[in-house]
Amino acid sequence: MKRKIVQIIFIVLSVLGLITVNYTMFIVFLISSLILGPFFCGWLCPLGFAQDILSKIGKFLHLPRIRVNKNVERVIKFSRYILFIFILFGFSFAILLDSPYRVFAGVLSWNFKFISISSWVIFGILMIIGLFIERPFCRYLCFEGARYGAVSTLRIFSINREVKTCINCKKCDKECPMQVNISTVKHVRDPSCINCLECINSCPVEGCLTYNFVLNKINKEIK
């Protein structure tokens, strides 16, 4: 609930023009991702918020929830990094990616005039998919999230699991919108993590999952 309030406040401040998401701010988000993880994705991004709401609507309507097979997810989650590399090297086929961002920019500036019909259509398709799959755009297409995710693998604050107290119920894995594997690692260093902290909220054992200073950079899989 706290997260939803922060997300709504950020959108309202943006729409009122009290916060401007400009290049400098993206640099700040990038540096903070390097230290704290991508809080922008989990707590501020309007596109992420829109997908969270659609997921809630999907659940409310009892629509089927699609959890992508673990092995398939391991491979297809690289799509956003591949797309990011293509964009870095100037390939301009990114109309598909650009489209939802135009809507995103429109929301932040409260100016929808420059958004083409095709942008709305692609955005709409993604949002419909979001009724069935958690954060599809974030997971497979977003180059901004790819950037934050890549640097966040070096983060010094992250989700820490107390192996001794963990009862292996796997609720954390089930609640994670990005399908990050939490229940078998000591701490989360997955570039897909958006720092939403839903895993911590879902854990039934108090103090088992915490957002903490993480010294050890190596994260072997442990049961």
Q: Which residues bind ligand SF4 (CB under 6 A)?
A: 41, 45, 47-48, 137-138, 142, 144-145, 159, 161, 166-172, 176, 178, 180, 182-183, 188, 193-199, 202-203, 205, 208-209
- Residue closer to ligand SF4 (CB basis): 29 or 121: 29
For residue 40, give Cα distances in angstroms to 7, 30, 36, 128, 181. Answer: 10, 9, 10, 23, 21
CB of 28 to ligand SF4, least distance (A): 14
* CB closer to ligand SF4, 111 vs 165: 165
Q: Could you tell me the smallest distance in angstroms from the CB atom of residue 8 to ligand SF4?
A: 15
158 forms bridges with which residues in the sheet?
212
Task: Quickly tell me which residue has 């707590």 as its tokens.
Answer: 43
In the complex, what is the shortest distance from the CB of residue 156 to ligand SF4, in angstroms, rounded to a whole number?
Answer: 16
Closer by beta carbon to ligand SF4, 90 or else 175: 175
Q: Which residues contact 94 (CB under 8 A, 6 or more apart)?
A: 83, 86, 87, 143
Nearest approach, Cβ of 98 to ligand SF4 (angstroms)? 13
Whether the Cβ atoms of residue 183 and residue 168 lie closer than 8 Å to each other: yes
* Cβ-proximal residue to ligand SF4, closest one: 145
Nearer to ligand SF4, 62 or 164 (CB): 164
3-state helix, strand, coil in the chain (%, to 5): 55, 5, 40
Whichever of 121 and 222 has its CB closer to ligand SF4, that residue is 222
d(CA 210, CA 48): 23
**Min dist. Cβ of residue 161 to ligand SF4 (A):** 5
Evaluated on CA atoms 59, 47, 125, 72, the torsion sign reads negative
